Amino acid sequence: MSHRKGTTVSSHLSPEDTVRALYGAFGAGDLEALGQVLADDVRWIYIGGAAPGRQARRGRREVLSFFADIYRQADIQDFSVHRVMPSDATVIVQGSETARLKHDGAIVTSDWVQIFDVEDGEVTTMTEYSVPVPARTEPRPDGT
């Protein structure tokens, strides 16, 4: 177990469980729990996508600020994980998200692949490759 500012973080989580804990905390809007699975010097990188605020971040504080901005600026209507592919300390996740922007009501939808590097129960790097998609009238190839 490692300790950080009075909080106990399990270093015994597998990389996949660490990523799933991150998604659970995101879905719950729990910034404290998000911080528990981020390394002090985490790198958060976005490639593609149209959503505002999608620039690279470095360090737990910047990444948590990014999440706080998401909660302030958008209502997440759907955040779906379609496939999780763990491999040693790397976890690759395929998913999609839809959000309504609070300032103008616009709907933003994207499909993405996120690649996480995890050490001792903490995300050290997340790189997202994202593609904005128009409104769907037919299901994705995976049936969702």
- pLDDT tens, residue by residue, 18-43: 999 999 999 999 999 999 999 999 99
110's tokens = 């994207």
- pLDDT tens, residue by residue, 91-143: 999 999 999 999 999 898 999 999 999 999 999 999 999 998 876 555 556 66
Q: How confident is the model at residue 2 (pLDDT cuts 50, 70, 90)?
A: very low
Q: How far is residue 102 from each of residues 25, 66, 99, 134, 136, measured CA to CA in Å?
A: 21, 16, 9, 19, 21
In the chain the domains, ranked by start, together with CATH numbers, are 10-132 (3.10.450.50)
Of the candidates 102, 106, 103, 92, the one whose C-alpha atom is nearest the C-alpha of residue 135 is 106
- In contact, 50 and 112? CB cutoff 8 Å: no
